A and B are shown apart, each in its own frame.
Chain A
């Protein structure tokens, strides 16, 4: 997805998996990651 004029990228209403989610952002200027766990 393209970055907007203000260095921001937004994904709205993303569905996560119940349980573990390894979330990764990959760009040409580096990557970042998180581990989120969903318990419903």
Chain B
């Protein structure tokens, strides 16, 4: 099997380094390398966001002495498309392979994942897919063809999507962050909305037209 051969070659070239295999299915080949990781898109390509937890918990119960990585996870987002509710778990979801990728779907997806990952100390590492939108020939999703829009930042590197600030506020405690989501959803047809902010501060206050809302 090529995985075994590559694993042996890697160990021969540098015995000090661990090897890891990223995969999207479960099988014996996951145990060839020193560590294993899975590319999983619960709530984007399949199932629901909350199915992430049972998947990893079942793996952990089956292999209690093994730690697992999450080598890819993410959801697409078009900064020109918006909704007023952040509800990744409810159907109908925007089709991951279709043209409707509202940014709030991605934001909600990552809010759920950062919590589910933190609650599981047997996950050795996680990798957001992806930092930037990137070219993907033949893909016709979201608002732009030939782009994978799972990035936390737009293809031109100019606009940081809302989910970027979730990770910044969680991972960069040296820099103060306060970010209001959905700022670009400027013209609305709904008069009821969820409002989400990411901040390094211990609390936040919301004002609309100068009047404080929900202390």
* B197 within 8 Å of A (CB atoms): yes
Residues of B within 8 A of A17 (CB): 191, 208-209
Residues of A within 8 A of B180 (CB): 23-25, 32-34
**Cα-based distance from A6 to B199 in the complex (angstroms):** 9
Interface SS of chain B:
mixed
Given known contacts A6-B170, A32-B180, is B188 in contact with A16 (CB within 8 Å)?
A: yes
**Cα-based distance from A21 to B197 in the complex (angstroms):** 17
**Cα-based distance from A9 to B114 in the complex (angstroms):** 14
Please tell me which one of the listed residues B177, B185, B214 contacts residue A1 in the complex, with CB atoms under 8 A apart: B214
* B138 within 8 Å of A (CB atoms): no
Given known contacts A1-B205, A34-B183, is B189 in contact with A39 (CB within 8 Å)?
A: yes
Interchain CB contact under 8 A, B208 and A21: yes
* B71 within 8 Å of A (CB atoms): no
Interchain CB contact under 8 A, A25 and B206: yes
Write the nearest CB–CB distance from B129 to chain A, whole angstroms. Answer: 19
Interchain CB contact under 8 A, B190 and A38: yes
* B40 within 8 Å of A (CB atoms): no
**Cα-based distance from A16 to B84 in the complex (angstroms):** 11
Residues of B within 8 A of A36 (CB): 185-188, 193
Give B215's nearest chain A residue, CB to CB: A1
* B137 within 8 Å of A (CB atoms): no
Residues 1-40 of chain A, each 1 if its beta carbon lies under 8 Å from chain B, else 0: 1110111111111111110111111111111111111111
A and B contact pairs by CB, cutoff 8 A, 19 listed: A1-B214, A2-B202, A6-B170, A7-B200, A8-B166, A8-B197, A13-B192, A14-B192, A14-B194, A14-B214, A16-B193, A20-B209, A23-B208, A25-B199, A34-B186, A35-B186, A36-B187, A36-B193, A37-B188
Contact residues of B with A, CB < 8 Å? 86, 111, 114-115, 118, 166, 169-170, 176-180, 182-183, 185-210, 213-215
**Pairs A-B, 5 closest by C-beta atoms:** A27-B201, A7-B169, A29-B176, A29-B201, A32-B180
